[in-house]
Amino acid sequence: MTYKTREWRNSMRVKLDFNNMTDTFLGDKGFSAKKLASYSSRANQAFRYVKENRGKDELYMGWTELPYNQDAIVADILQTAKAIRNKFQYFVVLGIGGSALGPIMAFNALCHLHYNDLPRSKRKGPKFYVEDNVDPVRMRDLLDVIDPAKTCFNVISKSGATSETMTQYLIILDLLKKAGVDVKENVIFTTDANKGNLKKISDEVGGIKSYILPDGVGGRFSQLCPVGLLPAAVLGIDIKGLLAGAGYMDYLCRQPSMRKNPALMCAVLQIAAMEEGKNVGVMMPYSDNLKYIADWYCQLWAESLGKNVTLDGKPCNVGQTPVKSLGVTDQHSQVQLYTEGPFDKVVTFLSLEKYGCEMPIPHGCENIPDVSFLGGHTMEELIQAENAATAYALTKAGRMNYTILLPELNAFTLGQLLFLFELQTAYAGAMLNINTFNQPGVEEGKKATFALLGKAGYSEKKKELDSLPAKDPACII
């Protein structure tokens, strides 16, 4: 790793503090050292499974090697991103799931929170939008604020058969044709290297610029491949820093001991909590920039661990429901439930040691003590105090919580955080003895959608839907 100096990398290390999961702080509601040690064997097996299967495309574990095998791709992306910034006023991602959540998350994390409202001289890049739904109002309203002829569209789908993404593409294709614009000039595909509908379309058109979504990388693990790297580079995000951060976290997690491997310990803490009935995992960043990390994590955790059969074919129905929350905002909406509701939650705090600015709080209202005490502090002090206070309140109430601490938010620390969560998920799935990387539960809804829209080959599914009992008017009130 050559990214900056060793001293700088170490100063940017993302750390895990799980004191508030232990009996020292929670009493009989927390884990004893003996209890955690009882998971050592399963944790070691999970570590070995991930280590032995790194990079295996057939197991969808190619994501483990993304920090190391993309030098040529990164160079090409940086060149393309520069051309896009120079040519286009708008950049729009057409995708869904990981193809959308990753770009949204990185945009929010590392760009100005009002990026699109900035003048071009301050943005230094096109306005950015991600269309991750097929609500017709959303598409209409996007078209009210962009000019398709001045927009680069990044269509992301490995199969090119994702109904939502291809619907968006058909609409945009029609608009470009009506505007007399050659689709090759305004569209970039991110798709499979050798097969799929986008590959067919590219071949028919005569070669649309395309990036590869690697075979061994599932959508929810795809932020560190061209799916996420191209949009990030267009926005001026340091994608080399993202990958370097991921590689650094991978290095930190090469230790087989859960006491030295933060991702493995995160997996153990969640699995142990789940097996004591903590079936809800709350992700609570104390940073507006990290708000959409929770959305990205929700897909990663839910789609990976929500399974009904083990690798050896036994029924299981496992998983933990992820919930997104935002500090300080949700102290005023959700924390009441977390502190006094059921003992069924684990709260993961994402905390910053240093924010992008301090924002001093002026003195004023000296005759009102409830207000005047704030003067002379900073907003950074206030949000950090509220973070610590919420963790304290939860701990006092016997509620499990732990903190992932970032020295500051930059591309390197974000890369660490993403890889930490990906490894945690892989370890947790291995401990549960499930297939972490498939999503069969999504398929039934897809098939029913195809049948309802008359797609060829789904006539039997349509008959199945038509055979449902008629709805009882008495149940519609």
Who contacts 356 (Cβ-Cβ below 8 Å, separation ≥6)? 289, 408, 409
Sequential DSSP letters for 73-104:
HHHHHHHHHHHHHHH-SEEEEE--THHHHHHH
Distances (CA, A) of 76 to 233, 316, 366: 11, 45, 58
Pick the catalytic residue: 114, 314, 332, 471? 332
Residue 91 CA to its chain's centroid (Å):
20
**For residue 96, what are the CA distances in angstroms to 37, 133, 160, 167, 220?**
40, 7, 12, 11, 10
Instruction: Dihedral sign for Cα 169, 173, 176, 181, please.
Output: positive
Q: Annotated catalytic, 303? A: yes
The number of C-alpha atoms within 13 Å of 168 and in the hemisphere containing its C-beta is 27
Active site residue 185: no
Distance of CA 252 to the CA centre of its chain: 21
What span, in angstroms and rounded, lies between the C-alpha atoms of 32 and 30? 7
Q: Is 363 a catalytic residue?
A: no
Q: What is the DSSP letter of 248?
A: H
For residues 375 and 320, is the Cβ–Cβ distance under 8 A?
no
Q: Cα separation of 181 and 191, whole Å?
A: 22
- Rounded Cα distance between 452 and 86, Å, is 44
What residue type is assigned to position 272 of the chain? A
User: Beta strands of 224-382 (E only): which ranges?
Assistant: 280-285, 307-309, 315-318, 321-324, 345-352
Catalytic residue among 446, 460, 463, 464: 446
Which phi and psi (to 5°) does residue 280 adopt? -125, 125
Which residue, chain included where needed, has tokens 């039934």? 444
Q: Distance (Å, rounded) from C-alpha 14 to C-alpha 404?
A: 7
Could you say which of 199, 240, 291, 303 is catalytic?
A: 303
Q: Is the dihedral of CA 29, 33, 37, 38 positive or negative?
A: negative
Positions marked catalytic: 303, 332, 446
